[in-house]
Structure formats: C-alpha cells, structure tokens
Amino acid sequence: MSSDARRPERPEHPEHPENTARDVRPQGRGAADSAGQPLPSQGKLWQRLTRDTAAFTTALHAWDGDTYREIPWPRLVRDAEAMTAGLRAAGVRPGTTVASVLTNSAATVRGLLAVWLAGGAVASLPVPVRGMSAEEYQGRLRAICGQLRPPVLLVEERMRTLLPEHLGSGTRVRAWEEMDGTGRIDPAPPGDDELAFVQYSSGSTSAPKGCMLSTRAITAQLELLGELIDPRPGRDVTVGWLPLSHDMGMFGILLTTWWGGADLYLSTPERFMFAPGTWFSDMAAAGGTLTAGTPTGLFLAARSASRAPRLGDGLRARVCIVGAERVEERALRYAVDVLGPYGFREEALMPAYGLAEATLAVTATRRDEAPRAVTVDPTALAAGELVEADPAQPDATRLVSAGAPCAGVELPAPGTSAVGEITVRSPSLSHGYLGDPDGTADRFAGGVLHTGDLGFVRDGHLYPVGRADDVISLAGRKVYASEIESAIDTLEGVRRGCSTLIGHHEGTAMRFTLFLEPRGRDLDFEALARSAADLAMRRAAVGLDTCVFLRRGALPKTPTGKIQRHRCRQLFDSGGFEPLATVELAPAGGPS
C-alpha cells in the first residue's frame, strides 16, 4: 500500500454551501418539538450517524482504485444532505423503497445516508457473483425490482454500462454521482418501527430473499455490536474489504465504525481477491485495530503474508471478527503462526455467528478471549450425533465455537447432546421476507427465527455445524456435506474453499458427485479423486461416485466466497460446467 495510508489525499470536489458544523435533526415523520429537539421515541440511529462536532475529526478513507481518499464523517454527512433534493426529484420520499447495489465506494456510503435522510428505505440488491453472466445478473435484478417496484435503482457510475437504462416495473437506473450537489430538503428518515433497510441474501443456498429491517432493529444491532467491540474515536481504526452488499460488510464494518465514530479504511472485495495480502498490509500501514473477514479470506491473507510480508511496523489488531462461513481451527492457527511474529494475537480472533435475518450478529467470542474448540467423532457428526473424541484420534474433527449469545440474544433450541436447528430470539430480528408471507411465517414463527442452520451449545457457546440445506439423506441416515467438504479442503492439490458435494438421484439410486477446483493442471486427477473418495468414506461413510475437476473460478460463489450450492446443482443439471477432467469411482471409493 502507498505511504498515503496514514495521510490520504482529500477528494477533489468543491465544498457545498453551509459547511458550518451543525446537527441534522430528524423531521417529518420524526417531528421535533417546539424546542427543536427530537421526540423521545425518534432518531437515535440518525443522531449517531449525523452528529457533527468540532472534536469529531475521524473519517472514512475509501479506496478509489489507487489510494485511500479521506472524507471526514461530518463532511460526508453534508455531502449526503446535498444529494437529497436530487433523490426527491427521482421519486424518493417518505415510505419509498429505493433499490441499490451497494459497492464499496464513497459515493455509495454518502448515497446510503442520503436515501435515509430523504425518507426512503434502502434495498440492498446482490452484486454480480462469480460464474454469473451479465444476462443472468440483469434477470435477477429485474425479478427483484418487479417485487419491490422502486422508482429508481442506484449504482456506482462504473456499473452503468452493465445495466440497461430501465429495468421494467417503472424502475430507472441512475448513478449515485448524478445526485451529488443537487440540493437539500428537510431530513425525514424512517421512524423507529418503519422499514429502513431490505437486505437481500447473496444466494448461497437459494434465490435471494429480502430481509426487512426496521430502524429499531438496526439500532439494536449497532448497540449490540458497540458493546461487543467497543469502537472509539482516537483509539480505534477499522480496516475492511468485505462488500457493503453483505450484512457483515454493511453492519459489521461500515455502520458499526460510523456509529462508534472511529476511522474506517474501506477497501474493496475485488482488490482483496486480486491481492489478499492487502488486508493485513493495510492494517499495518493504517494502524488498524478492528477488522472482520471470512475464514477463507483469513487463510488467503495469511498465506500471502507468509510469501511476501508487507507489514511494516507490525499489527495492532485487537478485534478480528471471523464469520460468514464455518470457521476452521486450522485457518485460525495458520493465521496466528504466520502473523504472530508481527504482533497479531490469538486473543484478537473473534469467531462469530450471524445472519441477515438477525441484521447480523447472534453470537461472538468475547474480546481478549482465545477461540475455543471441541473434538468430535467425524462419522457420528456426519450422522447428526455428538460423540467426543480424543484429539489424537486420526481424522477427528475439531469444531470451533462461535462464542456466546450477544447482549439480549437467546438461543432457545440447540442442545448439548445432538445437532439441531439453531433458533434465535434477538432485539434486532428482521420483520420477515419482503413479498414472501409463507417464508416469513415459516422462518419467523412466534417471534423466534428458525435459521435453517445446524449446531449445538456447549458450556454456553454455540458450535455451528452446517446448514439444513447441506444435509443429504442416504439409506435412512443424514450426511452433512459441509463436513466432507471441510476434509477435502485439506488435501494437497485442492484449492481452499473450492470443493462442493452434491447428492442427486439417478432413478431410485442416490449418487454423490464432488466438484472441485485443483491447484494447477499438472496433477494426477485420478489419484486426487481416489484420495478424496477415501477421505469421504473415512469421515462420513459416503462413497463418491464421480469427481469432477473444474477450472479455477468455475464454481459459482457469493461475494464473500461461499459456494452457491443451488447454482452448482443448476449448472450440473443443465450441463453448464466444462470439466478439466471427470473421474468415475466405484461405490467403495476406488476407480471403476
């Protein structure tokens, strides 16, 4: 990273008028009293995001493709205010839902606040994912906009070429930048119990679903995260690359830092994917103390640092949240082994569990507490049973705790003797799925979220195991595909996080196909397939029928790196994969 990380250049655009420091007071639906103060029930979220004092000198530092550009938070608020008249002219008013593709840019961040100040709710639509054509992506956006019927879809200017002028249903595509400097209107952000945000899932297990979040739910989540992380101006600097289109990027990185008033260095997922080492080199250069990422991302960043460390004076991280996918102990240990000599502490790691339906966090490891793990028998686990094992046992499985429930959160269901569905009570639960009353009734029954994820609780800590969608029925027993995939990831010659197991019927017979991306093409594919089949048999008593080797990047993934299993099935059924090699295996695991 350039030396500008500590003193980034300021953006080159003119100051807007009325740049004197002032508070933005909610009006309209959150009417103020005669003294100009907000009513008691209104506006804590908006007051925190728009506070403006002379001492508030921290800033957003947004990556612009070359360096980090600094925009002080008060300046960003004024820039957002100056977009509101343009948004009103585009049809945004109190009660309007505005479609948006939230990429990691300063334009997106100020646009997010501007929509809220103009009275709109922000619907975060999925970004393009790996393996998705432009036509397929446009079709997905059209389907969502057909449900939302927003007056406008707002994107970064650079995305305009990917989209048509109109997406049907009266939705016009506009750039955030078109709204800059168009003028101010009186702010009228959503009230506490009104819709403020619709978080569309990235689609790792099914088509995207829109989780409806009220202002109250978002506020509760940010209070919860504030207690967990304790971000403070002058002490903390957040560094993040997770996409703002993902709940962990939006709430765990952007809004938690903004709420706490700390500095934020906001990189991009594209930059991370191209150069994973930038995650921790940015942490070192900016003096980062807070960050978050996925286990796969942590492994890739550590591996990059092991090859070419660019960590300067070392790392000061005090919190590194790890989540969004199953956390593997070997990834945590590897990161500590590689980054430890540069000051990275094991106690900084914070494995966590969360999901969009709860705004974000449900459980998390507490600050300055080392991650904990339990050892279980893998064959029993694959069948949904918990049988503790000796850590020295060959092929034993180590499961990492995702921590204890966050403040105000309860886990009513998971027991300690068997794997069950994780259920959640939380002050930050979604109101349900937009336009899907059946799905809402099924998943949010009685104020309890039925997550579809599987796990158990031990000593007050949650241990996630996988998703119910990943369970395959075989001869009357359940097989956890994620348990097999986790083991396959350890094989030499397999790209980490790039294997998925699919069960499918041929007549009355169940067949198992493993798709994986090999590390290089000069491999003995048959030998690697045999190794994978042997491992699947040892770990879960599953006989692989076929092993399909794909080129790098062929497996469809979400922006945070989770494989989209349902799209793998679609591509498999339609013949959409172009294999490097296909190895047929006998049920016993040997070549046929």
Beta strands in 441-545 (DSSP E): 449-458, 461-467, 471-474, 477-480, 494-506, 509-518
pLDDT at position 167, please?
Answer: 82
Per-residue pLDDT at 41 exceeds 60? no
Average pLDDT over residues 532-544: 82
pLDDT at position 174, please?
Answer: 95
Average pLDDT over residues 284-291: 97
pLDDT at position 39, please?
Answer: 34
Contacts of 159 (CB under 8 A, 6+ apart): 101, 103, 175
**Residue 295, both tokens:** 């286990």
Banded model confidence at residue 20, pLDDT cuts 50, 70, 90: very low
Per-residue pLDDT at 3 exceeds 50? no
What are 356-395's pLDDT values in tens digits?
999 999 999 999 999 999 998 877 776 677 888 888 887 7
> Among 53-57, 254-258, 348-352, 415-419, whose mean pLDDT is lowest?
53-57
Mean per-residue pLDDT of the chain:
84
Banded model confidence at residue 508, pLDDT cuts 50, 70, 90: low
Per-residue pLDDT at 294 exceeds 50? yes
pLDDT at position 568, please?
Answer: 78
What are 310-348's pLDDT values in tens digits?
998 899 999 999 998 889 898 999 999 999 999 999 999
pLDDT at position 519, please?
Answer: 86
Of 560, 474, 465, residue with least CA distance to 510: 474
* Cα 367 from Cα 319, distance rounded (Å): 7
Per-residue pLDDT at 9 exceeds 50? no
Of 483, 461, 469, residue with least CA distance to 380: 483
* Cα 65 from Cα 63, distance rounded (Å): 6
* Cα 449 from Cα 362, distance rounded (Å): 11
* Cα 379 from Cα 425, distance rounded (Å): 31
Q: For tokens 């008691």, what's the residue?
A: 40
Per-residue pLDDT at 203 exceeds 70? no
What are 542-571's pLDDT values in tens digits?
888 899 999 888 888 766 667 777 677 777
Contact status, residue 267 vs residue 239, Cβ threshold 8 Å = yes
Per-residue pLDDT at 153 exceeds 50? yes
Q: For tokens 């990161």, what's the residue?
A: 335
* Cα 353 from Cα 355, distance rounded (Å): 7
pLDDT at position 275, please?
Answer: 94
pLDDT at position 363, please?
Answer: 97
Average pLDDT over residues 535-541: 79
Bridge-partner residues for 584, per DSSP?
546
Q: Which residue has better confidence, 37 or 350? A: 350
Average pLDDT over residues 489-513: 80
Per-residue pLDDT at 15 exceeds 60? no
Per-residue pLDDT at 165 exceeds 50? yes
pLDDT at position 38, please?
Answer: 40
pLDDT at position 36, please?
Answer: 36
Q: Within 10 A of 490 (CB to CB), how many other CB atoms are there?
A: 11
Per-residue pLDDT at 23 exceeds 50? no
Share of the chain above pLDDT 70, in %: 84
* Cα 556 from Cα 547, distance rounded (Å): 17
Per-residue pLDDT at 63 exceeds 80? yes
* Cα 127 from Cα 267, distance rounded (Å): 16
pLDDT at position 130, please?
Answer: 66
Per-residue pLDDT at 590 exceeds 50? no
**Residue 262, both tokens:** 């700390």
Average pLDDT over residues 170-178: 94
Q: Within 10 A of 98 (CB to CB), how many other CB atoms are there?
A: 26
Radius of gyration of the CA atoms of the chain, in A: 24
pLDDT at position 538, please?
Answer: 79
Of 557, 562, 559, 556, residue with least CA distance to 243: 559
Share of the chain above pLDDT 90, in %: 54
Banded model confidence at residue 512, pLDDT cuts 50, 70, 90: confident
Q: Within 10 A of 541 (CB to CB), how many other CB atoms are there?
A: 15
* Cα 560 from Cα 269, distance rounded (Å): 8
Could you give the domains of the chain?
Answer: 475-584 (3.30.300.30)
Banded model confidence at residue 505, pLDDT cuts 50, 70, 90: low
pLDDT at position 417, please?
Answer: 66
What are 66-125's pLDDT values in tens digits?
999 999 999 999 999 999 999 999 999 999 999 999 999 999 999 999 999 999 999 999
Q: Where are the alpha helices (DSSP H) in 422-522?
A: 437-443, 481-488
> Among 23-27, 125-129, 235-239, 476-480, whose mean pLDDT is lowest?
23-27
**Residue 447, both tokens:** 């104020």
Q: Residue type at 362?
A: V
Q: Which residue has better confidence, 436 or 520? A: 436
Sequential DSSP letters for 70-96: EEEHHHHHHHHHTTHHHHHHTT--TT-
